Amino acid sequence: MARQYAYDAVVIGSGPNGLAAAVELARSERSVLVVEAKETIGGGARSKELTLPAFVHDVCSAVHPLGLASPFFRTLPLEQFGLEWLQPEINLAHPLDDGSAVLLHRSIATTAATLGVDGDVYQRLMIPLVNSWEAIIQAFLGPLRLPPLLHPFKLAPFALAALSSAQLLSDVAFRGPQARALLGGIAAHSMLSLRQPTSAAAGVLLATAGHVSGWPVPRGGSQAIVDALAAYLRSLGGEIRTATEVTNIDELPAACAYLFDVTPRQLLQLAGHRLPDTYKRQLRRYRYGPAAFKLDLALDGPIPWTAQECLKAGTVHLGGTFAEIALSEQQVQCGQPPERPYVLIAQQSMVDATRAPAGKHTAWAYCHVPNGSDFDMTERIEAQIERFAPGFRDRILARHITDPVALEHYNPNYIGGDFNGGKQDIRQLFTRPTIRVNPYTTPAPNIFICSSSTPPGGGVHGMCGYFAAQAVLKQQH
């Protein structure tokens, strides 16, 4: 390769995808520089003492079903660089108003036992998906590619379920409230209306991941993931510069390729003058999705759940019935702060003692709100927790509030508080950020996109960065 450049590649942004792209290029013996505007690396995987000293909170991502399942991460020796995955006894608990809870265990049969009349149906749905897991993630955790799609019999059960709406799948497959509630809570991770096509995809994919590899948390915080990636990158000769804000691509060192771990709006700001007008118009039409309103809590003890099984779960979904969750998500789509929000809780300190002082605990909680909303959801989130855990408020020592505006300030990629890098509906599932044969490329031959605004979208899995790096390597050959 010609050496008139300072680097073979410069990556802008040190989130999991930016670092994944840099690692893949460095593994292919390319010289790589990662440039990060903040003082610390991490993007959506930073951890900080947000409330009180010695209480470690995950600023954005917390529980990582696709981190341990990622085909790319599995090829890396991240454990040698300090990453340790911890598995809760129960992946997920979904409490109901009668004091019981639906539970997502690693075991399909044990999960089915909590689903009442739908236990057998759930097993018939999930067993083929678990058996075809490798084919599923190869086909759907990335761009549309022909080789992974050459297994129609293995992929058909997942595709049929995932392409439907969560409402339709729930109505067709299940009769009882337990299975419907479980599906609704997991499917709502999509941040879509549960009536929309493909809203079932998140529910089916994440439930299957729970049975295959669990819903783990990293010891010490999500920061451990990016710290391990960074340490491995440096061992391969890669460089990282923090506190280096870039306002224009022309400020960067000369390189054969530039990979942007940013969304379309930032790409236009940083490199728009190097892109043709037609492509820029396409980027401007890119759609951002709902936002998150987040609470980080320092607690004087564990959350006093009525359903005791919740104390063994790393993640808890609050929202009661499928219908209530669907209403909450529909209100968000209509631009209204939900009255009884669907709330996601992570209890990392229940499985990771490094997160809080002895006897104390942390809680990570958020709900969905309209993009850019300035409505304070603190009371509504805490009311939902109190509903299923009376006395919860008495255990709060301190709280840290992050609304959509603060989320975007923390990470400019979170436009209006959207941490998924753009809406992930059927129109932008694989055609993100634009319709291109290779979505990681741009019309400028040396400019690439490696963020969650490319397939497969949001989540800490590194696959967007991996495929972007592959696009660079293919072009340079």
Q: Tell me which of 30-44, 99-113, 142-156, 337-351 is least confident.
A: 142-156
Question: Is 338 among the domain residues?
Answer: no
* Surface-to-core class of residue 2, CB atoms within 10 Å of its CB (0-12 exposed, 13-18 middle, 19+ buried): exposed
167 and 236, same structural domain?
no
Question: Is 184 among the domain residues?
Answer: yes
3-class DSSP state of 317: strand
Q: What is the pLDDT of residues 299-314, one digit of tens each?
A: 999 999 999 999 999 9
Question: Is 407 among the domain residues?
Answer: no
pLDDT at residue 156, rounded to an integer: 87
Q: What is the pLDDT of residues 437-452, one digit of tens each?
A: 999 999 999 999 999 9
* Residue 240 contacts residue 41 (beta carbons within 8 Å): yes
Domain boundary residue, one of 143, 176, 207:
207
> pLDDT-derived band of residue 1, with 50, 70 and 90 as boundaries?
very low
Question: Is 193 among the domain residues?
Answer: yes
pLDDT at residue 146, rounded to an integer: 67
C-alpha to C-alpha distance for 283 and 265, rounded to whole angstroms: 7
Strands 32-35 and 7-12, bridge-based pairing: parallel
DSSP string, 95-115: E-TTS-EEEE-SSHHHHHTTS
Q: What is the CATH number of the domain that holds 69?
A: 3.50.50.60
Q: Please, which residues have CB within 8 angstroms of residue 393's CB and are 6 or more apart in sequence?
A: 382, 386
Q: Residue range 223-251: average pLDDT?
A: 97
Q: Please, which residues have CB within 8 angstroms of residue 219's CB and are 6 or more apart in sequence?
A: 84, 85, 86, 352, 354
Residue ranges with strand state E in 300-416 = 313-318, 343-346, 361-369, 396-402
Q: What is the pLDDT of residues 341-355, one digit of tens each?
A: 999 999 999 999 999
C-alpha to C-alpha distance for 164 and 194, rounded to whole angstroms: 10
Q: What is the pLDDT of residues 45-59, one digit of tens each?
A: 999 999 999 999 999
pLDDT at residue 144, rounded to an integer: 80
The phi, psi pair for 434, rounded to 5°, reads -140, 175
Q: Tell me which of 72-76, 158-162, 171-175, 354-358 is least confident.
A: 158-162
Q: Residue range 77-91: average pLDDT?
A: 98
Q: Residue range 324-351: average pLDDT?
A: 98
C-alpha to C-alpha distance for 460 and 420, rounded to whole angstroms: 10
C-alpha to C-alpha distance for 255 and 275, rounded to whole angstroms: 17
pLDDT at residue 4, rounded to an integer: 79
Question: Is 248 among the domain residues?
Answer: yes
Question: Is 111 among the domain residues?
Answer: no
Question: Is 385 among the domain residues?
Answer: no
166 and 140, same structural domain?
yes
* Surface-to-core class of residue 66, CB atoms within 10 Å of its CB (0-12 exposed, 13-18 middle, 19+ buried): buried
Q: Is pLDDT above 80 for 63?
A: yes
> pLDDT-derived band of residue 150, with 50, 70 and 90 as boundaries?
low
Q: Which domain holds residue 437?
A: 7-48+61-83+218-287+422-476
Q: What Å distances lie between residue 176 and 119, 125, 162, 342, 418, CA to CA?
A: 10, 15, 20, 20, 33
Q: How many domains does the chain have?
A: 2
Domain boundary residue, one of 182, 207, 232:
207
184 and 140, same structural domain?
yes
Question: Is 302 among the domain residues?
Answer: no
251 and 193, same structural domain?
no
SS3 content of the chain, % helix, strand, coil (to 5): 45, 15, 40
pLDDT at residue 153, rounded to an integer: 75
The residue behind tokens 């990582």 is 64
Partners of 101 in beta bridges: 95
> pLDDT-derived band of residue 293, with 50, 70 and 90 as boundaries?
very high
138 and 72, same structural domain?
no
> pLDDT-derived band of residue 161, with 50, 70 and 90 as boundaries?
confident
pTM (predicted TM-score): 0.95
171 and 140, same structural domain?
yes
79 and 11, same structural domain?
yes
3-class DSSP state of 414: coil
Q: Residue range 250-255: average pLDDT?
A: 96
Q: Provide, rounded to the nearest whole percent, the portion of the chain with pLDDT above 90.
A: 92
Q: Residue range 370-379: average pLDDT?
A: 98
> pLDDT-derived band of residue 2, with 50, 70 and 90 as boundaries?
very low
- Count the alpha carbons within 13 Å of 321 in the hemisphere toward its beta carbon: 7
Domain boundary residue, one of 173, 207, 241:
207
User: Tokens for 476?
Assistant: 């340079």
